[in-house]
Structure 1
């Protein structure tokens, strides 16, 4: 009964924290977006705004709800948001949710695959380097990985397009799929290859290096010497003991890396003209499309905060000591 009440208390506490964080995020973005220079009416009316009179501009602001004080606009927006209405996209002249819905899947697929590949490859690479510490192959991987990490993703994307799309004609240079082939999985995979390569190369060594160092710190602990004295091989020690002890740290790294990987997704979408919420968020900020910007930021915030909560829960399963520390007075 006590464990059940503690579980309910924990879920309630995390839910309240999640809601408060999203509320603070929405307030910050709402106010900051309106402090940016520029007129949102430009997005809605385009060049026609130049021929509009002052009276027509004032009437337009009233119709779009831009005439009220910012706090009044926010209260109205948040009230509608709780009912599933996130407002009208000023640029696309349709509900913001209708604009973003077809693109969410593209970003989640691209970002999700990149996220899994980055950490799977980073973990394998870290394990390999840790088991071959200070050998020639370890030094080569460290130098090549460091050099690859510092290559600008935008420049790397352009180079890959020139080589594999323009010169060799092997891979498509833009889009999520070819015209009329939205249901062709193979075609979608071909369009994701270059963006994935850019995202993996720009993130792989950063996380592999962190995991490698954590493993090396673990390998130098006293219990490893005892395991060696008992006749355990280095592979057994690293995989069965060190890696298990480092696993909670890896999960934490994976959780806090969500914004980093998402930013890489946004860059890849911009370079390869890949239709997703990353490119859409940049456009919404550029054109002062407030409602669309709010929705894209909130979706990103939900992904980041939810991943942190999930990572903490997974850590408690992997390492019960974390749970005991929370429950101790």
Structure 2
């Protein structure tokens, strides 16, 4: 297992290098000049050029990338052009909020999707199945930002049950207050994930219910609920792990939009602010950190295959 993990880590290095090259090139091709944020009406052209030189923007693009890569390999992600603080410090301050929101949304999605998918498959083509299928199609189709706006209007403005923005109320520092602020953004992130997971669980459960081992359990006198929970669910877990690894990118992208709408102090809102401010070091830092998250997430999903199905671990 250790050799497999090491091999996967070594395979991830060229992938991350390729992502960094493409991201750096796209940032440089984007319109705008970060020097403009430092320019004042009284500045002379030589002052502006001096700023450009101090930021290293006078060098060719490939040299700028090599300087950036050299600093990253030494553990330095650079300094923010807007906040004038180390990029690593800014990201580390935002990571807990993003991981907390994404982790809560992922856990809640599984808790909701697994029983709904099993019930929908057990009641195939009945009223319950059709209702769940309709709801899942709606969840997949609804844009996240529109759903977020509707939740803010209903629960924060009209009913005034929940806060509409931020992570904490000024003057309060309690877990309950954080949970209240996280309900709406977590719900937005859960919507599409639950819909996707439920559809996959339903389809895989239906195929498992047609297997011979299910009929044997029925012949032994087992009830449908017992068969679903004790036997079918174990065989459905493997596709769920696959979908979890594939959906991490969608979850991160959704977190960017959700954090911006709800002003959640995570990496998503920091990234959007950096994009509008042409803060190149922060954009590259967040891009590489999120890419690293995806690589680690997919590695964990692969390792979980061996836990759920020992045959895969033996093959490795």
Whether these two folds match at TM > 0.5 is: yes
CA–CA distance in structure 2, aligned partners of residues 82 and 35 of structure 1: 24
Q: What does residue range 278-289 of structure 1 map to in structure 2 within 5 Å?
A: 278-289=268-279
Question: Is it true that 1:85 corresponds to 2:76 in the alignment?
Answer: yes
Aligned match of 1:211 in 194, 201, 208? 201
Instruction: Tell me what 2:304 maps to.
Output: 314
Contact 1:119 1:254 in 2 (8 A): no
Instruction: Tell me what 1:159 maps to.
Output: 150
CA–CA distance in structure 1, aligned partners of residues 207 and 112 of structure 2: 20
Instruction: Tell me what 1:146 maps to.
Output: 137
Measured after TM superposition, the shift of residue 234 of structure 1 is 1.8
Aligned match of 1:121 in 98, 101, 112? 112
CA–CA distance in structure 2, aligned partners of residues 9 and 194 of structure 1: 42
Question: Is it true that 1:137 corresponds to 2:123 in the alignment?
Answer: no
Aligned match of 2:218 in 214, 218, 228? 228
Which consecutive residues of structure 2, in runs of 5 or more, have no partner in the other structure? none
Which consecutive residues of structure 1, in runs of 5 or more, have no partner in the other structure? 1-6
Q: Secondary structure at the match of 1:171?
A: coil
- TM-score, scaled to structure 2: 0.94
- Kindly provide the CA deviation profile for residues 176-226 of structure 1, in whole angstroms up to 9, marking residues without a partner as x: 111232x31111111111111222223211211111111111111233233
- TM-score, scaled to structure 1: 0.90
CA–CA distance in structure 2, aligned partners of residues 131 and 215 of structure 1: 8
Measured after TM superposition, the shift of residue 304 of structure 1 is 0.8
Moved more, 158-167 or 315-324: 315-324
Question: Is it true that 1:270 corresponds to 2:260 in the alignment?
Answer: yes
Q: Secondary structure at the match of 1:175?
A: coil
Instruction: Tell me what 2:44 maps to.
Output: 53
Measured after TM superposition, the shift of residue 8 of structure 1 is 4.4
Instruction: Tell me what 1:20 maps to.
Output: 14
CA–CA distance in structure 2, aligned partners of residues 238 and 301 of structure 1: 36
Q: Secondary structure at the match of 1:302?
A: helix
Measured after TM superposition, the shift of residue 167 of structure 1 is 1.8
Question: Is it true that 1:98 corresponds to 2:76 in the alignment?
Answer: no
- Kindly provide the CA deviation profile for residues 32-80 of structure 1, in whole angstroms up to 9, marking residues without a partner as x: 111111101123x1x62x6543322222111011111122112211221
Instruction: Tell me what 2:295 maps to.
Output: 305
- TM-aligned CA distance change 1:263 to 1:8, over 3 Å: closer
CA–CA distance in structure 1, aligned partners of residues 58 and 126 of structure 2: 67
